[in-house]
Amino acid sequence: MIHGCYCYAESWQEKSEMFSEVMEKLRSERLDQPWISPGEVASLMFADGRHSERARDWWPDNTLQAAVNLETGYGGLVWFATQECATKDSVSEYIWVSDNPNPPDFDPRVVSDPGVPYFFDPRSALRVDRIRAVLEEFCRLGSGDRPECIEWVHGEMNGQRHD
């Protein structure tokens, strides 16, 4: 789900275009508005079917949420599995938030939950090239499993860390 709409990508070309949409056009926090404008989050999922008015009996068993702040050059990630998938292994039993062993020394203002809003802790902020690498790994594997090219820490769906 990108910009609040369901998007579907099957070929690698379509997936690459989806990465570009997330990395280049996902709305970041705007401070020039008289109202709160925290930005938006994209959710990538694998499912057996497409959502439609007629087909509502499925739901993906995995989600990778991504947000980026193009002005600061950082992004953040949340990965989780649904209860149906959670018995698969010890990884899928938890919600995971991106972890940066060398975080920036400033707050990169990456939205993690635009509804509240919450922002990722700087320790969860990764350079945008790392965010893209995670999106690519997630889609290349095609299983919905948590990507392994970065470090993760236990957290919440809203991007808050447990440590």
Q: Which residue has the higher pLDDT, 91 or 108?
A: 108
Q: Does residue 102 register a pLDDT over 60?
A: yes
Distance, CA of 132 to CA of 136 (rounded, Å): 6
| pLDDT tens digits, 35-78 | 677 788 888 887 766 666 666 656 677 899 999 999 999 999 99
Beta bridge partners of residue 37, listed in sequence order: 30
Residue 2 lies in a domain: no
Residue 135 lies in a domain: yes
What would the mean pLDDT of 115-135 be, rounded to a whole number? 95
Residue 7 lies in a domain: no
Q: 12-25 vs 128-141: helix axis angle to the nearest 10?
A: 150
Note down the domain range covering 114. Answer: 12-49+60-154
**Domains contained in the chain, number:** 1
What does DSSP assign to residue 146?
Answer: P
Residue 3 lies in a domain: no
Is residue 74 within 8 Å of residue 68, measured between CB atoms? yes
Quote the mean pLDDT of the chain. 85
| 30, two tokens | 């705007």
Single pTM value for the model:
0.87
| pLDDT tens digits, 80-93 | 987 665 556 678 88
Residue 159 lies in a domain: no
What does DSSP assign to residue 29?
Answer: -
